[in-house]
Every structure is written in C-alpha cells, then in structure tokens.
Amino acid sequence: MIQRSLGRTGFCISPIGFGSFKIGRNQKIKYPQRYDLPDEVTVERLLNAVLDMGITYLDTAPAYGLSEERIGRAVSHRRKEFVLSTKVGETFAGGKSIYDYSTDAIRASVHRSLRRLRTDVLDLVFIHSDGNDLMILSQTDAVETLLDLKRQGLVKAVGLSGKTVEGARRSLSWADVIMVEYHLSDRSHEEVIAEAAAQGRGVVVKKGLASGHLDAGAAVRFVLANRQVSSLIIGGFNPDHIRQNVAIAESALVQSSG
C-alpha cells in the first residue's frame, strides 16, 4: 500500500490505519449494532492479517478495554512492522469512562501502556479528550507532561485526539499530530486539517465512517481524497471487510495520483 508521511514525525504510515476499539470493548458503544468481543485466537489472527494486508498503523487506547493487552500479545513480535499510537487521559472500568489529566495519571498511563503493548517506546501518544479540549489544554498539565515523556524518549510523538475545531487549532502550537473527526456528514475540521498540514503536523482521521453509519466506499474515498490526511482509522473484526476497505483506499489513491 502507498504510504503517507505523518507530518514531520519521520513516520510514514498506511492511509488506512487499524482502530482497535472493537477487539477490546463492547460496552457504551456508538455503533448501530451490538457485538460480542472476539476470543484471543480470533484477535491474534485478525491483527496478523491486518499487518499482512499492508496496514502499518495501529491505534489503541486504555479506554478500549482489552485492546492494548491483546495487541501486545498478538503482534509485539512484529513491532518493527507498524507505527503504534495510544492515548492518555481516559480509562474505562465498571462500564464507565474515567478522565484524569493530571501529571501522575498520565505518567502512570504511559508506563502501563508500555507494559501492556510489550514495547520499549510508544510511537505516538494522544491526549484522549472528553470534549473539553480547551480546558484540558489550558488548565491541566497534560501537554507539558506528554512533552516531558517525549524528551525522556518514552514517546516519540505527541498530539491531541480532540472533539472541537478550537481544540485542534490550539494544539498546533505543540502537537506533532492531531486526530480529528472528519467525514461526509461533518466537514467542520476541514480548515484546521489544512492548517495542520501547512505547519508540518500529521493528521489522523477518526470516525471517518461516522461510527458505521456511512457507506464505507464513499466514506473512504472522501477522506483519502484529501491529501492532507495522513491516515484514516477503520476498526472492525472482519478481515474481509477490512480487506475491502484497503482495496477501496488503494483504488482511490491510484486515481488521485493519476
């Protein structure tokens, strides 16, 4: 698969990234249909198949239930083959999300993710916003703590997985990468995506299929037609569906480069 640069991080990643929410959590979801969590054998086969498809970017988070541990068990032996991102600020326990952006919580989260993912360094760590982007950025120590962990070498790149245009724009002063929602039904981040790319920031798109509410073919083509997008994260646990999305992406990229 054609690779796209992740801003100025030095990473090149596949334009389709794998989002690991569904392999770890099935409570308090926004998807139109409920689902059972796959077993360990199914997860191992899926993650290895994803890498075999040429997907070189995996995204996870502590809030995704069992996701981090499962990635660590299944593909840590192939660690050099993919760029890995996780998040800090949100955990999920007892059926609800818990948010903590304090220095101690973020440091503990990074060290916990390193253990779970069975890696010595995290390629990319996002602040996992609860929606109060500006408050998190201006009234907590989250940004400085992440930057300090980057200086220590535990994290290679940092960013914000936010929910507002204002938060994404504010984060451009320090972030290496921004993660934003962007799809056919919500183009509100289009201008800040362009601003980020102009400043050498990577742009990762989440919920490009509107949590399963949009047609995959049209949605993938729309997002990847924007060359300022580094990668579109798509989740799921059906290898055939993921393979179809990869084929759509490859076709779209060939057409756009022609």
Catalytic positions are 64
Q: Contact 150/122 with Cβ under 8 angstroms?
A: no
Phi, then psi, of 69 in degrees rounded to 5: -60, -40
Pairing of strands 96-99, 90-93: antiparallel
Pairing of strands 12-13, 4-5: antiparallel
What distance in Å separates the CA atoms of residue 47 and residue 209, rounded to the nearest whole number?
21
CB atoms within 10 A of CB 200: 12
Torsion of CA 13, 80, 67, 242, to 10 degrees: 50
Q: Nearest CA to 202 among 225, 182, 227, 229?
A: 229
CB atoms within 10 A of CB 138: 9
Cα distances (angstroms) measured from residue 251 to each of 113, 121, 238, 240: 35, 34, 20, 16
Q: Which tokens hold the place of 24? A: 């770890």
Q: Nearest CA to 125 among 95, 146, 140?
A: 146
